[in-house]
Every structure is written in C-alpha cells, then in structure tokens.
Amino acid sequence: MPHNGCVRRGNLWLVGADKVPKRSRQPGVPGRAFVLLLGLLLVCLGLVTAACGASGSSPSDATTIAALSILDNGGLHEIDASIQQGTIPPTAQTTATHLQTVALLTPWPKQLSSQAVKLAALLGTLASTLNADAPDMNKVKDASGYAHAGWHEFSTQAWSYLSGKAGLKD
C-alpha cells in the first residue's frame, strides 16, 4: 500500500515507485539485469581468455562479443521509444552512463575503436542531457535519437566485423 508516494517491494521502500508503471515480463524471458550480468560475466571470461592466450580467435573477440551483447541488450531502443513519446524512463540516465562506460572501457579491435568512442560520446550527451531536475524534452529527444541511431550503426559495424572474422558472409 503506498505511503507518501512510496511503495514497499519486499524489505525496501521505493520513493515515487507508485507513479512508475509495473513492467510485465513474460515467464521464461530473462530480465535486463540478468542479461547485463551475463554480459559482464562474458567480458570477464573474455579477459581471462585473453590473459591465458587461448588459441583460435584473437584474444579480443570474446570480449568484443560480450561488450556488444551488453550494448545490444541495454535497452536503448525502448528508452528512445519512450522518450520520443514524451516519457523519460527512470533508468534512462543510469543506463546511458553504464553503456557509455562499456563503450569506453572495452578493448575494441582497432577497426572499431573510433566508432566506439563516437558511440560513447553520444551516450554521454544523452546522460548529461538527462541529468537535470527538469530536462529539456526537445534536447533529450534529440540526444536519445542520436544515441539510438549511433548504437544501431556501431552494432551493425561490429557484428559485420566479427562475422567477417568468422568467415561468414553478411
């Protein structure tokens, strides 16, 4: 039962949660937190593989795939769709900052590193635009649209690079 704008979730009281619609999830479909945790584990696995000098693919391939999985499952499409309709999701700024961190800290292959820096800049602009008590919706919509488009472009280039290394045709 809400109390002064708070909702109790287990042992936690969430301020303002009574105004946030509950997300429905389909049974058997992993949540975003699970997908991000899985991606983080894959990044760690990639770093361990690189440190141990695994044979076969280059040391950064596993890390690149893991980082792409985090970016691709980070929810930028849903965030942008919501913002374009006039609603800023409560996790939008944090998500943009987390994805910017992934883009900046991943040891990308040299063919992708400049595009990763550009994506990180777009995500940083989105995060900083959202970092206000009353964000300017026109600026937020622009920043969100650019970050969303930049992510699509980067993801397409990165997967094309990886599929080429794997000997697959686009």
> Rg of the chain's alpha carbons, rounded to an integer?
18
pLDDT of residue 148: 97
Query: What's the pTM value of the predicted model, to 2 decimals?
Result: 0.68
Using one digit for the tens of pLDDT, what is the confidence trace for 100-153?
999 999 999 999 999 999 999 999 999 999 999 999 999 999 999 999 999 999
CB burial of 15-47 (b: ≥16 within 10 Å; e: otherwise) equals eebeeeeeeeeeeeeeeeeebbeebeebbeebb
Using one digit for the tens of pLDDT, what is the confidence trace for 42-100?
555 555 544 554 445 554 899 999 999 999 999 999 999 999 999 999 999 999 999 99
